[in-house]
């Protein structure tokens, strides 16, 4: 079944314009996104056909690999940031300038 992307944009144009008017948003930004989405949307069938050749097991393997990469990236990023912060604090403590009399607050007499 073939649907022209211009028809899709024309069908959704009143909805997009109504929402933009209601929320005081620029409609040109969202109409352009709808046009790009309509132009790219008709190509989803070829992507689905590409992944069908691998079957369910292939999809599960790809999903597990992606989740594993995301989890490793998440924890590695936190560990790296922790190491950078720790290094900064150690380096800052080693190279702290000596205290001067202006830095020391006067003691209050008892």
Domain boundaries, the chain: 1-42, 54-93
In terms of pTM, does the model score above 0.85?
no
Query: Is 97's pLDDT higher than 80?
Result: no
CB 19, CB 25: distance < 8 Å: yes
Q: What is the pLDDT of residues 7-23, one digit of tens each?
A: 878 888 999 999 999 99
Q: CA 38 to CA 6: how far, in whole Å?
A: 8
């Amino acid at each position: 079944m073939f649907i022209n992307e211009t028809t899709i944009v024309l069908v959704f144009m009143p909805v997009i314009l109504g929402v933009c008017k209601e929320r005081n948003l620029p409609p040109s930004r969202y109409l352009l996104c709808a046009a790009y989405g309509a132009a790219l949307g008709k190509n989803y069938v070829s992507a689905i056909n590409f992944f069908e050749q691998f079957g369910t097991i292939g999809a599960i393997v790809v999903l597990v690999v992606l989740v594993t990469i995301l989890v490793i990236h998440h924890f590695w990023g936190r560990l790296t940031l922790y190491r950078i912060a720790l290094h900064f604090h150690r380096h800052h403590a080693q190279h702290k300038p000596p205290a001067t009399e202006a830095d020391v607050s006067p003691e209050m007499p008892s």
